[in-house]
Chain A
C-alpha cells in the first residue's frame, strides 16, 4: 500500500513542505493540492524537503512541474532539497536539474533565500 505523509514547518519565516513516503499516481493529487494551497496562500518563497521521500514516479514529477509553473505566475520561487539517490536519479535523468533550484539540504536551500 502506497503511503505518503506531509507536514509544513516555518524556517526563518519561510514555509518548508516535507513530503515523506511514496510520491506516485496514488498520492500525487494530495501533494498537488497542498502545494497549490501554499502557493496561492501568498508564499512566494517555498521549500520542498524530500529527505524522507522513498521514491517518485512521473506522476510525482508532474506535481512539481505544475507547482513551479504556478509559482512563476505568482512571481515566486520554489526550491527543492534533500533528495535521496533514487529521487535524485529520476530528477537528473528527467532533466529537472535544469528547471528547478535543487539543494543538497534544507540549510543550503534557506541560504540567501
Chain B
C-alpha cells in the first residue's frame, strides 16, 4: 500500500528526540501550517513512544522504524515496532467520565483525533497516520 508510494524518509528511531528534526524537514518540504506541524509532531511522538515503551518494551535490541511516504495530497507516517502487537479497538475512551482523571491511556486517542486517518497493519505492530496536505 504505502510502500508503493514515493518514499520521503525511512529511518530507525532510537528515541522521540529524533522526531522533531524529521518533522521540521517535512514541514519545510511541504510548507505545512503551524497547526499541521503540531498535529504531526504530537501524533508521531505518541506513536514512537508507544512503539518503544509498549511495543518493544524498552528493549534496545529492538528497532522502531519510521517511513514517510507521499501519495498525491496525502502524507503517510508509518511507525513499526517488533513487539507482539495490540488491538486498538480494545482501548478505553480516555474522555469518558470514569477515565478522565486516569494518568495514562491517551496516546492512541490523541493520534486518532489529530490525524486525518489512521490504519493498523501486522496485528498492530505498524500504525500508519495520514495527513491531507494542500500544497505540493
> A25 near B34 (CB under 8 angstroms)?
no
Q: Confirm or deny: B107 has a beta carbon within 8 angstroms of a beta carbon on chain A.
A: yes
Q: Confirm or deny: A54 has a beta carbon within 8 angstroms of a beta carbon on chain B.
A: yes
Determine which of A55, A61, A65 lies in contact with B41 in the assembled complex, contact meaning CB atoms within 8 Å: A55
Q: Convert A1-42 into 0s and 1s, putting 1 for each residue whose CB lies closer than 8 angstroms to a CB of B.
A: 110000000000000000000101110000000000000000
Tally of chain A residues near chain B (CB < 8 A): 26
CB distance from A88 to the nearest CB of B (A): 10
Nearest A-chain residue to B23, judged by Cβ: A55
Tally of chain B residues near chain A (CB < 8 A): 27
A66 CA to B102 CA in the complex, in Å? 9
> A94 near B35 (CB under 8 angstroms)?
no
Determine which of B45, B49, B113 lies in contact with A93 in the assembled complex, contact meaning CB atoms within 8 Å: B113
Contact A95:B16 (CB < 8 A) given known A58-B110, A69-B101: no
Binding site for B on A (CB under 8 A): 1-2, 22, 24-26, 54-59, 61-62, 65-66, 69, 85-86, 89-90, 93-95, 98-99
